[in-house]
Amino acid sequence: MAKRRGRSAVFGLSLLRFLAIVATTYFGLLAVTFFIGRVIPIDPVLAVVGDRAPAHVVERARETLGFNLPLYQQFFLYMKAALTGDFGISVLTSNPVLTDIRRVFPATMELATVGTLIGTLLGVPLGVLAAVKRGSLVDQVVRVVGLVGYSVPIFWLGLLALLLFYARLQWVAYPGRIDVVYEYSFTPVTGFYLLDSAWQGQWDVFRDVFRHIILPAGLLGYFSLAYISRMTRSFMLNELSQEYIVAARAKGLSESRIIWRHALRNAAVPLITVIALSYAGMLEGSVLTETVFSWPGLGLYITNSLQNADMNAVLGGTIVIGSVFIGINMVSDLLYRTLDPRTRAR
């Protein structure tokens, strides 16, 4: 009985510590976005009423929006509104920012999901192969591919890919998400065009959406592949040097079974965190990709808002991306603790 109480107390303390870390991280996210909005030399009041508005109109708008209050009171109101999902009204679209984000975020999620699938399905086998063939030509090629993925700017590679695969070879569709022919005849349900078109049996729309998404998702997948293959190689090298691998070989198990059934199975535990972080990085780092390929997602929405001094939209989009990043980290940490019993006692 006492042992069970002790375990419950340890679990309760771990849960409280975990929630405290999440709350602190989210508080820091809100604080950073708030002060960025105040430091940037853009007056949000003038962005709403216009720079030619009379002085009394500007002053009244400043009082209505709360910008005449002390800074700590402004931060409290900002935090209270953000926690309820109220990010204000977009100057660019005249819609609530949260409504705009709900409209554009599925496009970013679809792009990041396809890119992560490409990076995972190719990166994990390449990382395993590089670890097994350590020091060989195959290992060197995989490492060079990863190095290029880390080094080359994605906007430059995206422009080259458009020039080659769209302008010259005509293998992919032009920038955008869907052809104008299907834009008004296709009714998405979830916001994931590939899933919706396949579910509705509109395979012509599916093919068109696939031709639009494959190039930007392939580029994101390549950068994800660079990270995942490198980390897979590192995890596999660590596992292949363990004593249980030597024991498995001494028992006469086949090399393929040792690699794929034993070593990779143990390496998969930390690899889940790597893949989750790669996915989160795509959600927050797809701004340049969406700009180059005119992909109507959250990244392009934030870019257009920033160019038009729409700070409500910029800060709202930043908070949403940061929240998703925190959420994915939470899920990956819980999965890590679930799959690896050694971490539960920490």
Q: What is the pTM of this model?
A: 0.83
Which residues on adjacent β-strands are paired with residue 81? none
The whole-angstrom distance between residue 203's C-alpha and the CA centroid of its chain comes to 28
Give the integer Cα–Cα distance in Å for 88 and 316: 8
Task: At 254, give phi and psi (nearest 5°).
Answer: -65, 150
pLDDT of residue 310: 80
> What pLDDT sits at residue 212?
93
Q: pLDDT tens for residues 94-124?
A: 888 899 999 999 999 999 999 999 999 999 9
Q: Which of 128, 142, 164 is nearest to 237 (CA)?
A: 128
Which residues of the chain, if any, have pLDDT below 50?
A: none
Helix-helix angle 311-339:298-307, to 10 degrees: 150
pLDDT of residue 228: 92
d(CA 15, CA 185): 49
Percent of residues in the chain assigned helix, strand, coil, to nearest 5: 80, 0, 20
Q: What is the DSSP string of 75-126?
A: HHHHHHHHHTT---B-TTTSSBHHHHHHHHHHHHHHHHHHHHHHHHHHHHHH
Count Cβ atoms within 10 A of the Cβ of residue 19 and give its class: 0-12 exposed, 13-18 middle, 19 or more buried.
exposed
What pLDDT, on a 0 to 100 scale, did the predictor assign at position 119?
Answer: 92
Cβ–Cβ under 8 Å, residues 324 and 101: no
Delineate the domains of the chain, giving CATH numbers in brackets.
19-83 (no CATH), 97-343 (1.10.3720.10)
The reported pLDDT for the residue numbered 111 is 92
pLDDT of residue 124: 92
Position 285 scores a pLDDT of 65
